[in-house]
Structure 1
Amino acid sequence: MNSSVPVTFLKRLFHIRRNARSFESPRYLLKWLLISTLIGLVAGLGAIAFYAAINYTTDLFLGRIVGYLPPSPGGEGAQQGVMNFWASARPWLLPLITTLGGLVSGIIVFSLAPEAEGHGTDAAIAAFHEGKEIRARIPLVKLVASAITIGSGGSAGREGPAAQISAGFGSILATVLRLDVQDRRLALATGIGAGIGAIFRAPLGGAILAAEILYKDDLEVEAIIPALMASIVGYSVFGAWSGWNPIFTVPADLAFTQPLQLLFYVVLGILCGLLGIGYARGFYGITHIFHRLPLPRWVRPGIGGLLVGLIGLVLPQALGMGYGWVQVSMGPGLMGLPLWVILLLPFAKIITTGLSIGSGGSGGIFGPGMVIGGMVGACFWRLCYGVVPGVPATPAPFVIVGMMALFGGVAHAPLAVMLMVAEMTGNLSMLAPAMIAVGIASILVGETTMYTSQLPTRADSPAHRLQMSFPLLSTLNVRQAMKPLTLQFAPGEALSRAASTLTEKGLSGASVIDQQGCLVGVLTLADIERVPIEKRQESFVSDAMHHDPLTFYPVATLDEALERLSNQRVSWAPVVDVESLPGHVNILGILAVSDIVTLYRQTLAKASRRMRGLVTGTVMLEITVEPGMLLADVPLREAQLPHECLVVSIRQGGDQLFPRGGSVIQVGDFVTFMVSPSGEERLQSYLAQRRTPPLSLSTSN
């Protein structure tokens, strides 16, 4: 008996629902602390596996076969590698290797999990909005296919696969724990932030990205706290294995100290905004071309790989992730690169990224976007240095701000990208000029985005459409709408008799209650119909009922309840006591869709507007005083208001009055009350009463 207590506790813990859509509840916070920790652990381990797979495939394909290893960033082994591509052992094998990598990646993706095609972040965003599960095989397929794409020289980033690996685990965990749709979405978003935060060693930026990248002009605020917890766990696991240094090394004295240099960052913001538009349109233009090719889908990544290899023969800097060339561009090594290489590299990177991923290959677009932005900054510095006075002595400031501005704007995630790049470089001093550049780039980008699954705001997402369309429902709770039990069955009751009872009463189902009065299941006509007619006489209710039905707590909001009913495709569900003992679920009543609609209409019909209270556990009512109301034309102290309510404000004409005992409320005034949920019904009853008009005495002669 004692051994089942922890299991029962965890089961109840993971089924705790949001009360006021916040993490103020200690039990709800504990639930997400455990979930986020699990997601963070998998994000960190997944980042380790993916990072090691990329290094292995790069060493195998480019290092051992071609004899060329591109430089790596300072935080990942310094600038080791062959700087001169044509000094490599077998440079002519490059197109063959990139083609082979594309073909192998295409075969793996399209034979095992076609939805793993392209960049994983967009797929994770779409899964969030649609509330869909991510198949368990996708994270592994994404890891292998992306490592082969990147390791063979394909232009792709590692953030998309890392995000989809941990987001996929979040989806799997939500299924195992039987979380509701809203919590599944939070688990997906948490996985996105944890995966990206770990692989880039940027836990704060990754967590903010989880909330920001889902929308063009909005934030998923609820995702921030669980993403923060998961991201720091993932970062700790990955950092314990790979080290704690930022990805890029920058000069120690790098700082923004010249306000006049803001003019340079204005120009840089304009350049990054324009090239950001070019990145999005170029990438999806190439993607559409490949989608129209009359060839098997698994062949297209091979064609893309061949073209990438041919471009790499001329511009090897456009191969792979490209972080090493960003590192080179931050220091004196930039002067060693030919000017034509620096000028062409941003455009070549756009093309190779489109060919590698848009053709159906697997990899991220975040990393290439930062490389393109960094090279725009390097190009701008190279053209201005020694010609325009006041240009910084090192290109690092322009490279860092360029990374932030270009992808922060076109990804509609300016805050997250700024924080991520600051963490990746270990430098916060460039945030001030970056704000100027990122702001200008975001304005120029407009509605253009790199993530087609992004939606404008929460009101456009299925995750919040009901709440935004019917905001009144989010202020009403299940307790106000539920009805008492009208019919119930015992587990041992004959199934044929239960069927006759439901048919006679015209009901679709009823709760099943044991001898102790506890809920043990739900029986519906659909359950009965699954049992053959000839077997119903000898069958019992317990043989056909749902043993783990959908249930609600009285404190749940009606918008959440209506969405869960819709997702489960049922018209009613039992309401159970939050304080039920383990194994003894006390049923309080029934909530049906019709009950929600009835309460909604009744609340709308009242001459009041209901809002969430300023103080937790309260609601606010705003009414227009009508003739005959008990509080009209009398001093407030004589209005005999219910004890549970407080008059917050009185709007009289164009004036806002501070309520006092002697304040006289007049007909037509707008009065705002704050009241506890338990006292709301008494206040509504008081407001519905009218004064009895005095009897008129008549005299007769």
Structure 2
Amino acid sequence: MNSSAMVTFLRRLFYIRRGARSFESPRYLLNWVFISTLIGVVAGIGAIAFYAAIHFATDLFLGHLIGYLPPSPAGEGEQTAVMSFWSSARPWLLPVVTTLGALISGIIVFSLAPEAEGHGTDAAIGAFHRGKAIRARIPLVKLVASAITIGTGGSAGREGPAAQISAGFGSILATVLRLDAQDRRIALATGIGAGIGAIFRAPLGGAILAAEILYKDDLEVEAIIPALMASIIGYSVFGAWSGWQPIFSTPVNLAFTSPPQLLYYVVLGVLCGLLGLLYARGFYGLTHLFHRLKLPNWLKPAIGGLLVGLIGLVMPQALGMGYGWVQVSMGQGLLSLPLWVVLLLPFAKIVTTGLSIGSGGSGGIFGPGMVIGGMVGACFWRLCYHVFPGIPDTPAPFVIVGMMALFGGIAHAPLAVMLMVAEMTGNLSMLAPAMIAVGIATILVGGTTMYTSQVPTRADSPAHRLQLSFPLLSTLAVSKAMQPLILQFAPGQFLSEAEDLLTKHAESGAPVIDQNGNLVGVLTLADIERIPPEERAHQFVNEAMQSDILTFYPEDTLDEALEGLSTRRVSWAPVVDAEGLTGSRNVLGLISVSHVVRLYRETIAKDARRMRGMVDGTVMIESVIEPEMLLAGVALRHAQLPAESLVVSIRRAGELLFPRGSSVIEPGDIVTFMVSIRGEERLQHYLTQQKEPVLIGAHS
């Protein structure tokens, strides 16, 4: 089997029919067991590499240069004792080290992959919704830059880079296997869950996080089963190297046994909700401040690193990931910390995280969020202990619930974060009071979120907008709308003959089929016109045809077909036989935008008023209105839209508006147009035009 046939074989093997996307389908199960296993293995190896890189950088920069190592949680290494910062060899070097590390990280990120800036989980969420591939270099850049940021004392977490490493591999794997748009998104979400589940040794929480963190008020349910498989594989690979113990050690007899204590957890939920809001607004406030600085982007992280180092001279507890200080705060070691440190540490951690990552540095915000929540719980216990009745004898319950409540609320992932913290601490007994605190914190944060790429629901995501806006399309198969072949070419035909046939039949193009009946390409008039007229009588079809073509199967649904056609910017595509795995592709017919519209119209013909204007030969185009576009700030009656185009709907701030002549299109609106095939180019040109700048004070 040659390489071309092998690629086709793999694509056919991993093709999953929309109607069979259920674990009741053995093929679905087989495909995702294989894909999830690969993603999980890479997630585990990536977690090992990132974990080792962080510890190497920490030992090098903080350990050898300064002589200070922050405490570690009980489940990670032997460095659990609290070391005095000022008794270290060269504490005065801290601002130099944090500045140098941030500068190196900034140079790496902005010279190699600017999209690796900031926290990786948000970038992966954005890639999911936009359906875009993650560049292959980003995971490596993220790993190195984040390890340097954290290892030099920057306040950042390790979950974002871990998620982006495995999510990036999921995106690459989807490209290699040529998975469709939906399966690419599922592979990417699976990578997010597997990476976080592995690095935190929390496979169940990581898998649920893959489905929950994409939305504010919804779940990507299709991602749960693949993420469960990948997450447990990633956890197994990482655990075989690092050990199986939870990250944090908790008292053996820790349990919730006093219902009156629920009142304290209500108060803790309120505190965590308020601090969660402060964390989000403070972080993005600092981020926007750095974005407004008129300095090179690679230099901004150095400024943030310098400020982090200066804060660290006063409060070294605010440096690095901070998990060791959470471990200290779970026991009686909390009483050995000065009260002012316990009170100020949550606020200092918010500031140092904003300075480290918001300045353009690289790292996660999940870990610092849990540290902030844990320290809120520790502070609450420290102030109430021996003052109010019924307070637990150890701060561990408040610390654990604080971690769950603060970040579970502000990340809009309450279920996943509760499970993750329970796995990280090896303790499930605090889930009951955590439900109270997390629920209250989630209500308090409202629509505010730490992940700006989150959308409210599946209906607001480009991944599902077409399916949910036109649900009927997802119930209709391509086989019902496709049309039989009118014209086809052989690879050895002359281009002049093909041109005459296309002109005679008034077709824009046709498939190219070899002597065995297999599809090998498509040829369009545009392809022919690129060849000089005098050469068309001597060149063959296979010299001008397109080999990388879009195809559909009879079982595909019309929403998939419409999404594929619009993404590839083509008006038609061949429909091929999906039976067998031999690599052959027999053309059964053609599917076009007009075919989809015709079947849709016929299906709902009994309600003709709703479909007025949905005629043959039309296409729907969705565009986000930018401030400089001609349409921005203009009423529709004055918009001078090209002929044969119509505004169908306006989506503004999550609301669907029905257009009228007086409707004014605002920047940021998502406008859906219906336009004829021949008018599409004019509409696309209109949407790319910009307003002429107004010259102030110009003289004739």
TM-score range, shorter chain: 0.7 to 0.9
Equivalent-residue separation in structure 2 for 1:382 and 1:393 (angstroms): 11
Deviation at 1:480, TM superposition (A): 1.1
Please report the RMSD computed on the Cα atoms of aligned residues, expressed in angstroms. 1.7
Is 1:458 aligned with 2:455? Answer: no
* Aligned twin of 2:104: 104
Deviation at 1:489, TM superposition (A): 1.4
Deviations 1:155-210 (A, max 9, x none): 00000011111111111112222222222111111111111011001111111111
* Aligned twin of 1:475: 475
Deviation at 1:470, TM superposition (A): 0.4
Equivalent-residue separation in structure 2 for 1:395 and 1:457 (angstroms): 37
* Aligned twin of 2:405: 405
Equivalent-residue separation in structure 1 for 2:381 and 2:254 (angstroms): 15
Q: Residue type matched to 1:463 in 2?
A: A
Deviation at 1:494, TM superposition (A): 1.3
Q: Residue type matched to 1:444 in 2?
A: L
Q: Secondary structure at the match of 1:510?
A: strand
Q: Secondary structure at the match of 2:353?
A: helix
* Aligned twin of 1:245: 245
* Aligned twin of 1:92: 92
* Aligned twin of 1:285: 285
TM-score of the pair, normalised by structure 1: 0.85
Q: Residue type matched to 2:425 in 1?
A: T
Deviations 1:320-345 (A, max 9, x none): 00000000000110111111100000
* Aligned twin of 1:423: 423
Structure 1 residues 6 and 516 mapped into 2: Cα distance closer, same or farther (>3 Å)? closer
* Aligned twin of 2:605: 605
TM-score of the pair, normalised by structure 2: 0.85
* Aligned twin of 2:355: 355
Contact conserved, 2:11 with 2:179, CA < 8 A, in 1? no
* Aligned twin of 2:218: 218
Aligned residues: 608
Equivalent-residue separation in structure 1 for 2:516 and 2:402 (angstroms): 68
Equivalent-residue separation in structure 2 for 1:176 and 1:81 (angstroms): 48
Structure 1 residues 545 and 19 mapped into 2: Cα distance closer, same or farther (>3 Å)? farther
Q: Residue type matched to 1:553 in 2?
A: Y
Structure 1 residues 581 and 136 mapped into 2: Cα distance closer, same or farther (>3 Å)? closer
* Aligned twin of 1:116: 116
Query: Which aligned pairs between 1:295-306 and structure 2 lie closer than 5 A?
Result: 295-306=295-306
Deviation at 1:584, TM superposition (A): 2.7
Is 1:130 aligned with 2:125? Answer: no
Q: Secondary structure at the match of 2:590?
A: strand
Q: Residue type matched to 1:288 in 2?
A: H
Structure 1 residues 566 and 350 mapped into 2: Cα distance closer, same or farther (>3 Å)? same
* Aligned twin of 1:191: 191
* Aligned twin of 2:512: 512
Structure 1 residues 456 and 581 mapped into 2: Cα distance closer, same or farther (>3 Å)? closer
Q: Residue type matched to 1:596 in 2?
A: V
* Aligned twin of 1:532: 532
Structure 1 residues 591 and 249 mapped into 2: Cα distance closer, same or farther (>3 Å)? same
Q: Residue type matched to 1:140 in 2?
A: L
Equivalent-residue separation in structure 1 for 2:20 and 2:435 (angstroms): 34
Q: Residue type matched to 1:393 in 2?
A: D
Contact conserved, 2:43 with 2:165, CA < 8 A, in 1? yes
Q: Secondary structure at the match of 1:153?
A: coil
Contact conserved, 1:482 with 1:589, CA < 8 A, in 2? yes
Contact conserved, 2:11 with 2:178, CA < 8 A, in 1? no
* Aligned twin of 2:696: none
Equivalent-residue separation in structure 1 for 2:340 and 2:524 (angstroms): 73
Equivalent-residue separation in structure 2 for 1:483 and 1:449 (angstroms): 47
* Aligned twin of 1:260: 260
Q: Secondary structure at the match of 2:321?
A: coil
Q: Residue type matched to 2:116 in 1?
A: A
Contact conserved, 1:164 with 1:192, CA < 8 A, in 2? yes
Structure 1 residues 7 and 141 mapped into 2: Cα distance closer, same or farther (>3 Å)? closer
Q: Secondary structure at the match of 1:573?
A: strand
* Aligned twin of 1:384: 384
Deviations 1:463-503 (A, max 9, x none): 00100110111111111111111111122211111112112
Equivalent-residue separation in structure 2 for 1:132 and 1:329 (angstroms): 42
* Aligned twin of 2:487: 487
Deviation at 1:214, TM superposition (A): 0.6
Q: Residue type matched to 1:457 in 2?
A: T
Equivalent-residue separation in structure 2 for 1:288 and 1:127 (angstroms): 22
Q: Secondary structure at the match of 1:591?
A: strand
Q: Residue type matched to 1:435 in 2?
A: M
Equivalent-residue separation in structure 2 for 1:533 and 1:243 (angstroms): 70
* Aligned twin of 1:294: 294
* Aligned twin of 2:615: none
Deviation at 1:561, TM superposition (A): 1.1
Equivalent-residue separation in structure 1 for 2:104 and 2:515 (angstroms): 62
* Aligned twin of 1:369: 369
Equivalent-residue separation in structure 2 for 1:276 and 1:197 (angstroms): 23
Contact conserved, 1:68 with 1:81, CA < 8 A, in 2? no
Structure 1 residues 119 and 411 mapped into 2: Cα distance closer, same or farther (>3 Å)? same
Deviations 1:417-438 (A, max 9, x none): 0010011011111111111000
Q: Secondary structure at the match of 1:19?
A: helix
Equivalent-residue separation in structure 1 for 2:239 and 2:534 (angstroms): 64
Return 77-86 or 552-561, whichever deviates more: 77-86
* Aligned twin of 1:326: 326
Contact conserved, 2:12 with 2:581, CA < 8 A, in 1? no
Equivalent-residue separation in structure 2 for 1:531 and 1:26 (angstroms): 48
Deviation at 1:306, TM superposition (A): 0.6
Deviation at 1:2, TM superposition (A): 11
Is 1:274 aligned with 2:274? Answer: yes
Query: Which aligned pairs between 1:621-632 and structure 2 lie closer than 5 A?
Result: none
Return 591-600 or 513-522, whichever deviates more: 513-522
Deviations 1:619-647 (A, max 9, x none): xxxxxxxxxxxxxxxxxxxxxxxxxxxxx
Contact conserved, 2:217 with 2:456, CA < 8 A, in 1? yes
Contact conserved, 1:265 with 1:434, CA < 8 A, in 2? yes
Contact conserved, 2:20 with 2:28, CA < 8 A, in 1? no
Q: Residue type matched to 2:148 in 1?
A: I
Contact conserved, 1:168 with 1:188, CA < 8 A, in 2? yes
Contact conserved, 2:346 with 2:376, CA < 8 A, in 1? yes
Deviations 1:64-108 (A, max 9, x none): 111110100000025535531111111111111111111111111
Q: Give the percent of matched residue pairs that are identical in Structure 1 and Structure 2.
A: 81
Deviation at 1:533, TM superposition (A): 2.7
Contact conserved, 2:498 with 2:541, CA < 8 A, in 1? yes
Equivalent-residue separation in structure 1 for 2:580 and 2:196 (angstroms): 40
Deviations 1:637-691 (A, max 9, x none): xxxxxxxxxxxxxxxxxxxxxxxxxxxxxxxxxxxxxxxxxxxxxxxxxxxxxxx
Contact conserved, 2:13 with 2:581, CA < 8 A, in 1? no
Deviations 1:505-527 (A, max 9, x none): 22111122233333232212222
* Aligned twin of 1:144: 144
Structure 1 residues 575 and 6 mapped into 2: Cα distance closer, same or farther (>3 Å)? closer
Contact conserved, 2:12 with 2:583, CA < 8 A, in 1? no
Deviation at 1:129, TM superposition (A): 0.6
Deviations 1:285-316 (A, max 9, x none): 01111111111111111110111011111110
Deviation at 1:228, TM superposition (A): 1.1
Unpaired segments ≥5 residues, structure 2:
609-700
Return 70-79 or 300-309, whichever deviates more: 70-79
Q: Residue type matched to 2:197 in 1?
A: G
Q: Secondary structure at the match of 1:264?
A: helix
Unpaired segments ≥5 residues, structure 1:
609-701
* Aligned twin of 1:58: 58
Deviation at 1:587, TM superposition (A): 1.9
Structure 1 residues 7 and 110 mapped into 2: Cα distance closer, same or farther (>3 Å)? closer
Structure 1 residues 93 and 607 mapped into 2: Cα distance closer, same or farther (>3 Å)? closer
* Aligned twin of 1:159: 159
Return 408-417 or 125-134, whichever deviates more: 125-134
Query: Which aligned pairs between 1:13-32 and structure 2 lie closer than 5 A?
Result: 13-32=13-32
Deviation at 1:573, TM superposition (A): 1.1
Q: Residue type matched to 1:280 in 2?
A: A
Contact conserved, 1:521 with 1:549, CA < 8 A, in 2? yes
